[in-house]
Amino acid sequence: MSPQPALQFPTGETLRRARGRAARIAEILGQRYPVTRLPLRHENPLQLLVATILSAQCTDAQVNKVTPGLFARYRTAADFAAADLRELEEHIRSTGFYRQKAQAIVRMARTLEEKFGGGVPQTMAELLQLHGVGRKTANVILGGVFGKPGMVVDTHVRRISRRWGFTVQDDPTKIEHDLTQLLEPSQWSDFSLRVIYFGREVCTARAPQCPACPLKRLCPSAKFRGRPPWMARRTRGGQRRRRGAPARPGAAARPAATPRAASRRAASRAK
């Protein structure tokens, strides 16, 4: 990652205090979720890589329905590299954005064959050379199958880390940088998985369970019911508007995205 600015906390706390709070949160999450397992079923690094690409804009449960048949048909990187696109698309159609995902899988597999002898590389720099693989996917692979530190920043980690006041950033790469400054590398993989579990169960996007949350005393957003002022969107005039709040009177509605634009956004989020 490129050099990042010094950490800033919307709570105004010091780095030392934020690290202490992060350590306590990690401890409580560890007690709540003592066993961390990747929800995507796989038997080897290649399968996890493909499943992670398929999981973009799709539930893990649906991916797990698709992959048994998919992995029975395509067993190696060479198989995926030589796949007929239309046949591959039919296998993964139910995961959504199947055309883009099929192309990404084939191009990724061809790079594996050409540069890495068909094996999945074990470093961030090498993984990022694969088509359709961004830092989130790379961190899943590093932590999930190679036992290397990897802070996965998905939609849950992005939302909750901001609610906890551990970052003022919105970009996943910058959030990853901030979170890795708060915890030891040995904690990164399990911590991010536990935050994902927690985001699905308690700290949801639309209805966070703040009054009953086991972390409410450690969460500066609890008193705001998960919608703190530092997460409010900025209007054109520079003012902040909380998510879910009505737009100012007379404001023009944002035009709907075209299908092509929506596809580009989805492909970007997949990385």
pLDDT tens-digit series, residues 164-223: 999 999 999 999 999 999 999 999 999 999 999 999 999 999 999 999 999 999 999 999
159, 172 contact by CB (below 8 A): no
| Mean pLDDT taken over the chain | 89
- CATH code for the structural domain at 45-145: 1.10.340.30
Predicted pLDDT at 232: 87
Query: How far does Cα 179 stand from its chain's mean position?
Result: 13
CA 191 to CA 171: how far, in whole Å? 19
Average pLDDT over residues 63-91: 97
Average pLDDT over residues 134-150: 95
Confidence of residue 84 (pLDDT cuts 50, 70, 90): very high
Give the H or E element holding residue 240: strand 240-241
pLDDT at residue 252 greater than cutoff 90: no
Say if residue 260 is exposed, middle or buried (CB neighbours under 10 Å; 0-12, 13-18, 19+). Answer: exposed
Q: What is the pLDDT of residues 120-137, one digit of tens each?
A: 999 999 999 999 899 999
pLDDT at residue 108 greater than cutoff 50: yes
80, 105 contact by CB (below 8 A): yes
Predicted pLDDT at 10: 94
